[in-house]
């Protein structure tokens, strides 16, 4: 406790820097497995030293060291039984963060949210569920009426989008993290780019999405490329090749997965430095104390199963007036089964 008191400011800075690290792990990529293993070995060594010191002190005080060992072994057994549990914010063992990508091109408005992915960590089922909500979903937006879902963010920012998702789908969202085109491109460049296979049809659309200053990065034909930030964002925006927005959300998840794969190769120190740079590019509402809790859960999250999910579900929606209208009763039932059971 004395250490925490004296170093609380530094701990909070580290917690704030951990936003990107948690988002990476929350989507199921096993970050820094070797670093974590070494950290666990260090913790084990420290625990053994502490145990030896404690036993010596008990022996000198006249207590029976054998009894102390038995009691501690029993406690460790109980801890092992519950060892797969992680310390998430909240009391129900479930934590959800909304990842938002907007089409904002300047600071005059929020932009429409073309990327809406709710990452749900369920410590009861040992799963991390990544649920994409498509931009054209029918949504009853509190205070605004019926619109496409992505209008909620344009109208009232992250808070209104969270309220809309919670009201329409009867879920709970704890926090959000948001980026726009420019900041997402910068984040990808900070990571070092991503490896993506691009088809001939996708190339022409990708090139059209590049700004004038980025035209030098235009691709000649289909193939596997190491895309920089501008190219990757253009790739994620492709909507009119393949199965429209359904395939665009898959492209978004593909780029995220590649970002996480790049981060997996980084050391803990490199990730912390990266997180500090990324934090300045990300709008979020995660408190420092909650971030401490989330960072403490990293090693446990690496063992969880990653599940991809998408709303609307196939066969559970209709298209009306350019909106995707879910069968809300069945969609909510299925969504809750995926997230909470």
One DSSP character per residue, 43-68 reads HHHHHHHHHHHHHHHHHHTT--HHHH
pTM: 0.67
Six-digit token pair at 186? 């910068």
Q: Among 98, 129, 86, 92, which Cα is nearest to 305's?
A: 129
70-73 own/partner pairs: CB under 8 Å, 24+ apart:
none
Q: What is the DSSP-derived secondary structure letter of residue 137?
A: B
Strands 127-133 and 138-141, how do they pair?
unpaired
d(CA 197, CA 208): 18
- Cα angle 335, 336, 341 (rounded to 5 degrees) comes to 125
Q: Among 167, 179, 195, which Cα is nearest to 257's?
A: 195
Q: What is the pLDDT along the chain (341 residues), one digit of tens a residue?
A: 444 444 444 433 433 334 344 444 343 333 333 333 333 444 444 444 445 444 444 444 455 544 444 444 444 433 333 444 467 776 688 999 999 987 665 566 677 788 899 999 998 999 989 899 999 999 999 999 999 999 999 999 999 999 999 999 999 999 998 887 888 899 899 889 999 999 999 999 999 999 999 999 999 999 999 999 999 999 998 988 887 778 888 888 788 778 767 766 777 667 667 766 776 787 888 877 777 666 666 556 667 887 889 999 999 999 998 899 999 999 999 999 999 98
d(CA 249, CA 246): 6
Q: Give Cβ neighbours of residue 144 (< 8 Å, ≥ 6 apart).
A: 151, 152, 155, 156, 160
| Residue 327 contacts residue 317 (beta carbons within 8 Å) | yes
d(CA 36, CA 296): 12
């Amino acid at each position: 406790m004395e250490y925490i008191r004296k170093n609380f400011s530094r701990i909070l800075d580290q917690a704030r820097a951990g936003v990107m690290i948690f988002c990476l792990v929350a989507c199921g990529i096993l970050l820094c497995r070797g670093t974590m293993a070494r950290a666990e070995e260090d913790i084990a060594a420290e625990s053994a030293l502490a145990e030896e010191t404690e036993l010596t002190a008990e022996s000198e005080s006249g207590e029976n060291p054998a009894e102390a060992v038995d009691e501690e072994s029993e406690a460790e057994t109980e801890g092992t039984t519950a060892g797969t549990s992680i310390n998430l914010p909240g009391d129900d063992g479930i934590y959800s963060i909304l990842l938002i990508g907007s089409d904002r091109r300047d600071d005059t408005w929020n932009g429409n949210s073309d990327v809406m992915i709710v990452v749900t960590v369920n410590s009861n089922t040992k799963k991390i569920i990544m649920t994409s909500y498509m931009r054209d979903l029918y949504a009853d937006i509190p205070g605004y009426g019926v619109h496409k879902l992505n209008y909620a963010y344009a109208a009232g920012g992250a808070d209104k989008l969270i309220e809309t998702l919670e009201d329409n789908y009867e879920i709970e969202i704890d926090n959000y993290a948001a980026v726009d085109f420019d900041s997402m491109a910068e984040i990808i460049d900070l990571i070092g780019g991503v490896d993506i296979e691009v088809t001939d049809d996708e190339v022409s659309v990708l090139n059209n999405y590049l700004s004038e200053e980025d035209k030098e990065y235009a691709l000649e034909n289909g193939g596997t490329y190491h895309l920089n930030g501008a190219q990757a964002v253009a790739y994620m925006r492709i909507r009119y090749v393949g199965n429209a927005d359904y395939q665009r959300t898959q492209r978004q998840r593909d780029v995220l997965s590649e970002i996480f794969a790049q981060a997996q190769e980084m050391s803990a120190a490199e990730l912390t430095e990266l997180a500090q740079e990324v934090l300045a590019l990300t709008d979020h509402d995660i408190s420092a104390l909650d971030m401490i809790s989330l960072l403490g859960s990293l090693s446990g999250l690496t063992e969880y199963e990653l599940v991809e999910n998408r709303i609307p579900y196939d066969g559970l929606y209709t298209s009306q007036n350019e909106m995707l209208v879910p069968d809300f009763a069945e969609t909510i039932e299925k969504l809750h089964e995926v997230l909470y059971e």
